[in-house]
């Protein structure tokens, strides 16, 4: 039974919602450590693209391996924004953005808030998808992502 549960969790990929054990810090928090950081969407995308090819790892939040919300959390931490390690909780941050007004750096959410990524422009986003895959770029208009679209947020 434990083996079956472990296999199901491994194959589920980023669809499993990760519990957050830390209190989320609003993205508007300012501190001496954040002075001078470039928080522009283009800079966020530059950081994210450096990790294309990084392996997926359930619960991962470092360049050794990422899951979806861990990847978003890691990239935004590089520009001084603290986010929880949970896609549904990340959806509470920032403000809603209509799909036709997306800008690079916006967070995009899918599958009842069980998956997310970072919009990079030209109807593409970068994400950590599932076990056996790597951080990669996908198209918003690919069938699965189009059908499972939830929304977007701008931090």
- Active-site positions read 68, 115, 127
**Paired tokens of 20:** 């957050």
Q: What 8-state DSSP symbol labels residue 128?
A: -
Long-range contacts of 113-116 (CB under 8 A, 24+ apart): 113/17, 113/87, 113/88, 113/150, 114/14, 114/15, 114/16, 114/17, 114/87, 114/88, 115/13, 115/14, 115/15, 115/68, 115/87, 115/148, 116/14, 116/68, 116/69, 116/72, 116/87, 116/90, 116/91
Q: DSSP character for 56?
A: B
């Amino acid at each position: 039974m434990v083996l079956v549960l472990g296999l199901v969790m491994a194959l589920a990929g980023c669809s499993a919602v990760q519990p957050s054990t830390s209190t989320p810090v609003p993205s508007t928090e300012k501190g001496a450590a954040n002075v001078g950081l470039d928080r522009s969407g283009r800079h966020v995308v530059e950081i994210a693209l450096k990790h294309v090819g990084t392996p997926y790892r359930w619960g991962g939040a470092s360049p050794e391996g990422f899951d979806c919300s861990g990847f978003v959390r890691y990239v935004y931490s590089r520009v001084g924004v603290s986010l929880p390690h949970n896609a549904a909780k990340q959806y509470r941050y920032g403000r809603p953005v209509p799909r036709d007004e997306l800008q690079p750096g916006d967070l995009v959410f899918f599958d009842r808030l069980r998956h997310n990524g970072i919009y990079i422009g030209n109807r593409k986003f970068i994400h950590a998808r599932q076990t056996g895959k790597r951080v990669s770029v996908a198209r918003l208009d690919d069938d699965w992502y189009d059908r499972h679209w939830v929304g977007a947020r701008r931090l």
